[in-house]
Structure 1
Amino acid sequence: MTDRDVHLPVAAQPTVDSLVEYARRAEAGGYDCAWLPETWGRDAVTVLTAIAERTEEIDVGSSILNTYSRSPALLGQTAATLQEVSDGRFRLGVGPSGPVVIENWHGMAYGNPLRRTRETVEIVRQVLSGERVEYDGEDFSLSGFRLRCEPPDPAPPIEVTGMGPKAVELAGRFADGWHGIMLAPEGVEDRIADVERGAELGDRDPEDVSVTVGVTCCALGDAERARDLVRQHAAFYVGGMGTFYRDALVRQGYDVADEIHDAWQDGDRERALGLLSDDILDDLAAAGHPGAVRDRLERFEAIDGVDAVAVGFPRGADENEIVETMDAVAPNAD
C-alpha cells in the first residue's frame, strides 16, 4: 500500500508552534511522514526537533537539507541526533538545490552537484555507522571524525532529490530513497526507470530504494480559488526558481515551459499564468473540489514503483486553506 505523506508549508507561517500543529494534525489524520523543506525561513533542524518532541508516531523528515550549507559530517551528526530525539522516526532528505539558492543566498560556489551529493551520502553513511570516518573524495577529504555518542540503531534512511535522469540514477545507486516533484504520472514512470537503472549499476535491489513523489494539492469548496492558487505556485517555480523545474517540464514534453519561464522573467506574470493550461495543471498537480483532488492523488499512488505520495500546498494558501486541504485528503478521510 502506498504511503501518503505531507510536505509541511513553510511560506509565511507565523510561528514554530504553527508548524508543529500542522504536523500534529497530520499525525491525527493518518499521514505517514511529515516532511519539512528548508528554504529561506526557519531552519529545518530546529523545527524538526520541536515536531519530533511533540509527536508520537508520524515519521519526520528533512526535504531537503542542501549539501552545501552544512558539511557532510555535520549532516551525519544532525541525522544521528534527530533520530535520537524522534525515537527512531527520522528520515534524512538531502539534495544539491540549485545556483539561485546556493550562490545567491548562501554565497557558495555551485559545482558538480551530482558528485557532491554522492560524496555527501557516502560520508553521512560512514558517520552514522559510528566508525572512524576515513574518506578521500574529490570534493571532501576527511580523516579521524567519529561520533562521540552511540550511533543510531537503526540508522535513519538517507534520501535524495533529483530531477534529471543522471541525478535520479545516482539515487538508485547510492541512496535509500528518491524524491521527485513537478512530474506528471508518465514523468514519474520515466524517473522510476532511472532509479532502477541506478540500482542495477550499484548492484542493489531497486526495492531497497523508496520512491516519494511530491504533488502540489489544494482541495477547497471553492474549486476556482484552489486552481488559481496551484497555477500561481507552478508558474512561480517554473518561471522564478532557476531552470531546473522548467527543464523538468520540457523533458516531459511540455515545451511551453520555456515560454512560461521567459514570460515570468520578463515580468509578464499574467501571460505566464495563461500559458499554464488546465491540462498541464491537472497533469502535474491536484487542485479543485476535494473529490477531484483525491482522485488525482490516487493516480500517482497507483503508479507501479511509487512508495509514497507527499501532499504539498501552494505557497499562496492561507492557514485555513492549508488545513482544509490537509483534512480533505488525509488518509483517515478516505
Structure 2
Amino acid sequence: MKLGLQLGYWGAQPPSGVAEMVAAAEDSGFDALFTAEAWGSDAFTPLAWWGRETSRLRLGTSIVQLSGRTPASIAMHALTLDHLSGGRVVLGLGVSGPQVVEGWYGQPFAKPLARTREVVDIVRQVLAREAPVASDGPHYPLPYTGPGSVGLGKPLRSIVHPLRADLPIWLGAEGPKNVAQTAEIADGWIPLFYSPASAPMYAEWLAEGFARPGARRSRDDFEIATSCTVAVTDDPAPVLAALKPDVALYMGGMGAKEVNFHKRVFERMGYADLADRVQEHYLAGRRDEAVALVPDELVDQLHIVGDAAKVRDRVAQWEAAGVTTLLLRLTSADEVRRVAEVVL
C-alpha cells in the first residue's frame, strides 16, 4: 500500500503547517503529494509551491476541474510541472458538477463523459507531440471554427518537448458509465468514498471498461487512489464524530437537490433513505440535525480508525479490495510520521 498526503483545497485562508507535513511525508516514506480545487484555490499552484521542497514524492492533482481550463491549457500546466519536478506529475482530472461548472466557470455541463474523453485525447496528443494537435470536437474543436472565429486558427504542436508522453492521467469518477470509461481510457481512478464494502459494486463497472477494445490498462497495472482518514487511536469515538460533518456535506449538501452525484454514491451503497433525510435537513439549513443522522458504522466503513493493530488489518483489507494508494488528509507532521510508522 502506498500513501499520499492529500492537501486538498483551501478554506477561507491558506492552511498552516503544510511545509512541515510535506517534509515529514517525504522523509517518512509517503509516495505522493496531492492537491485539489473547488471554487477558490487552484490545484496546480500549491502543488508547484510545496512540490519544490521535495525530490521523491509524486505530485498529483485530485482533481483538476475540466471546465476551468481548455484541454491544451491543462496539458501545458502538466508538462511544465513535469519538467520542473523531474517527471513526478500525476494529472488527476474530473468533471465536477453542474453548480460549479455552470455557476462558477460559466460553461455548459452537458455530456460530461464525452467531454472527458475529448479532454484526455487532446492532452495525450499534446504530451505525445507526434503531430500538430487537432480535434473534431464537438466540445473542444481544434482549430476552432465556430461562432466568432476569424478563420485563422491552425493546428499547433507544443513548443516545449514534453518530458513524458506517458505522463499518468487519473480520473475522478462516480457513476457506472464514468467508472467504466475511466478503466478504458485512464491510467488510474480517484474514487469518492471507495472502501472494501463498496468494492464489489465497482468491480463490475471497472471490468467492463478494461474489456473494451483498445483499453489503455488492465486491472493489474491500473491504480486506484482513494481518499480516506487513517487515525491511529485507542479512542475512535471522537474521531468518528469529527468525520460526520464531512460525510453529511457530501451526502446532502454538495450539489443541487435535483443533481447530486455524491449523494448517488451513497444511494448505490444502500443508504438511499438516509441520504434523502440528510439532504432534507442540510438544504433546509439544519446542518446539526443532518450530521446527527450519520451513523458511526457508515463513517467507520469509509475510514480507517482504531488502534495500530486494527489500522494495519483494515489497510490490508483495502489493499485486497484493489486500492493501491490511500490519499490521507492529515493535520500535523507528527500525525504524518505516526501513520507512516504504523502503515508502512
> TM-score w.r.t. structure 1 length?
0.89
Give, in angstroms, the shift of residue 332 of structure 1.
6.8
Q: How do 1:1-334 and structure 2 match up within 5 A? A: 2-12=1-11, 15=14, 18-130=17-129, 131-143=131-143, 144-204=155-215, 205-206=217-218, 207-219=220-232, 223-242=236-255, 243-255=260-272, 256-289=274-307, 292-303=310-321, 305-312=322-329, 319=331, 322-330=332-340, 334=344
Distance 1:188 1:324, change over 3 A: farther
CA shift at 1:175, angstroms?
1.1
Contact 2:308 2:342 in 1 (8 A): no
The Cα of 1:69 is off from its aligned counterpart by 0.9
C-alpha distance in structure 1 between counterparts of 2:38 and 2:70, whole Å? 17
CA distance in 2, matches of 1:268, 1:328: 36
CA-CA distance at 1:22 after TM superposition = 2.6
Report the CA distance between 1:92 and its aligned residue.
Answer: 0.3
Equivalent position SS for 1:236 = helix
- Work out the CA distance in 1 between the residues paired with 2:190 and 2:213: 18
Once residues 181 and 107 of structure 2 are traced to their aligned partners in structure 1, the CA distance between those partners, rounded to angstroms, is: 23
In the TM superposition, what is the alpha-carbon distance from 1:153 to its structure 2 partner?
A: 2.7
Between the two proteins, the alignment pairs up a number of residues equal to 325
Residues 135 and 142 in structure 1, CA contact (< 8 A), matched pair in contact too: yes
1:249 maps to a residue whose letter is: F
TM-aligned CA distance change 1:68 to 1:12, over 3 Å? closer
How far did 1:170 drift? 0.7
Taking a change above 3 Å as real, the CA distance of residues 110 and 195 of structure 1, as seen in their structure-2 partners, is same
Alpha-carbon distance, 1:104 to partner: 2.5
Distance in 2, Cα, partners of 1:17 & 1:86: 23
Q: Which amino acid aligns with 1:99?
A: P
CA contact (8 A) 1:327 1:333 kept: no
Q: Which amino acid aligns with 2:127?
A: L
Counterpart for residue 316 of structure 1: none
Q: Distance in 1 between matches of 2:133 and 2:43?
A: 26
CA distance in 2, matches of 1:202, 1:96: 24
**One-letter amino acid of the structure 2 residue matched with residue 257 of structure 1:** A
The superposition leaves residues 135-172 of structure 1 with CA deviations (integer Å, 9 ceiling, x where unpaired) of: 11221111412110112235311110100111000101
Deviations 1:72-101 (A, max 9, x none): 001111111111011001000001011222
- In 1, the alpha carbon distance for the partners of 2:240 and 2:39 equals 25
Normalised to the residue count of structure 2, the TM-score between the two structures is 0.86
Is residue 239–residue 246 contact of structure 1 (8 Å, CA) maintained in 2? yes
Cα deviation for residue 227 of structure 1 reads: 1.6
- Which runs of 5 or more structure 2 residues have no equivalent in the other structure? 144-154
Contact 1:20 1:47 in 2 (8 A): no
Cα distance in 2 between the residues matched to 1:333 and 1:14: 31
Aligned residues: CA RMSD: 2.3
Q: CA deviation at 1:183?
A: 2.6
Aligned to 2:148: none
Distance 1:253 1:171 in 2: 23
1:183 aligned counterpart, secondary structure: coil
* Deviation string, structure 1 residues 109-159 (Cα, Å, up to 9, x no partner): 211111111110011000101131121122111141211011223531111
Deviations 1:53-82 (A, max 9, x none): 210001010110011010000111111111
Worse-superposed segment, 181-190 or 242-251: 181-190
- Provide the identity percentage: 31
Cα distance in structure 1, aligned partners of 2:314 and 2:93:
27
Aligned counterparts of 1:311 and 1:56: Cα–Cα separation in 2: 20
Separation in 2, partners of 1:20, 1:115: 39
Letter in structure 2 aligned against 1:140: Y
